[in-house]
């Protein structure tokens, strides 16, 4: 069946995962609270809403969670420019996908305005964006994927979901999409395969070959 839409996760798929982790640590420093020493500890929480991450990692920030989140969001774009930018082959893939007249969707646990700012900064085209503030249930629930399909008027089986986290694979498979795991972020071959990945690629260079 012809592919009509490709959905992308953001952190670890489009942009380096390390930037979000670094921004979180800098935000902790700004508010003079304990800075989690181990980046691996923070990686365990990727895929959750930021409030959920505070509960898991720095509960001492909960009394001023609103200010913490605002500072984090305001500084993340600046840090992308400083530390990372977008991952390799992202722009070329987006260009090739649009050239084939295939829709592009962004499905993320970030707030929609935060994701939009990143896409705008790097001039990445998209047809639909579903953030954590657009749905009741985030990944691994299928709701964000089904919402994107509905807005684009496509069937899940006509779509591909590309992500670096097992939650991306679970959301894709439960919705009925083809799931492609990419090894540029949180996941590894073992946990992505276990979560249901149909294909696993080293980076986005191989993606265009999988489009039908």
* pLDDT greater than 90 at residue 209: no
Q: Are residues 47 and 103 in the same domain?
A: no
List, for residues 42-55, the tens digit of each pLDDT value.
666 666 778 888 88
List, for residues 107-120, the tens digit of each pLDDT value.
999 889 889 988 99
Task: Provide the domain limits for residue 57.
Answer: 17-84
Q: Are residues 100 and 143 in the same domain?
A: yes
Q: Are residues 191 and 206 in the same domain?
A: yes
How does residue 13 score in pLDDT terms, banded at 50, 70 and 90? very high
Classify 176 in phi/psi space as left (phi over 0), alpha (psi -120 to 50) or beta.
Answer: left
Answer with the one of 84, 100, 129 that is the final residue of a domain: 84
List, for residues 148-179, the tens digit of each pLDDT value.
999 999 999 999 999 999 999 999 999 999 99
Which residues, 6+ apart, have CB-to-CB distance to 101 below 8 Å? Answer: none
Q: Are residues 12 and 30 in the same domain?
A: no
Q: Are residues 99 and 190 in the same domain?
A: yes
Average pLDDT on 187-211 reads 94
Q: Are residues 29 and 74 in the same domain?
A: yes
The CATH number that applies at residue 124 is 3.40.50.1000
Average pLDDT, the chain: 91
Average pLDDT on 74-101 reads 89
Answer with the one of 84, 103, 138 that is the final residue of a domain: 84
Average pLDDT on 89-99 reads 96
Contact 134, 96 (CB under 8 A): no
Continuous segment of H or E residues that includes residue 194:
helix 189-194
Q: Are residues 23 and 47 in the same domain?
A: yes
pLDDT of 211: 81
| Count of structural domains within the chain | 2
């Amino acid at each position: 069946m012809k592919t009509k839409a490709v959905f992308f996760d953001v952190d670890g798929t489009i942009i380096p995962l390390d930037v979000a982790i670094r921004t979180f640590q800098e935000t902790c420093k700004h508010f003079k609270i304990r800075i989690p020493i181990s980046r691996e500890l923070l990686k365990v929480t990727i895929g959750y809403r930021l409030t959920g991450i505070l509960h898991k990692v720095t509960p001492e920030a909960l009394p001023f969670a609103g200010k913490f989140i605002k500072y984090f969001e305001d500084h993340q774009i600046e840090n992308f420019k400083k530390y990372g930018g977008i991952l390799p082959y992202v722009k070329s893939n987006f260009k090739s996908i649009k050239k084939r007249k295939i829709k592009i969707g962004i499905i993320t646990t970030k707030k929609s305005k935060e994701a939009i700012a990143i896409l705008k900064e790097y001039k990445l085209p998209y047809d639909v964006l579903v953030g954590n503030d657009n749905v009741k249930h985030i990944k691994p629930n299928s709701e964000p994927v089904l919402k994107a399909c509905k807005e684009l008027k496509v069937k899940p089986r006509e779509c591909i979901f590309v992500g670096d986290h097992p939650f991306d694979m679970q959301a894709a498979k439960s919705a009925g999409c083809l799931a492609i795991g990419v090894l540029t972020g949180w996941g590894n071959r073992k946990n992505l395969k276990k979560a249901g990945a149909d294909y696993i690629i080293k980076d986005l260079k191989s993606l265009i070959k999988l489009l039908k």
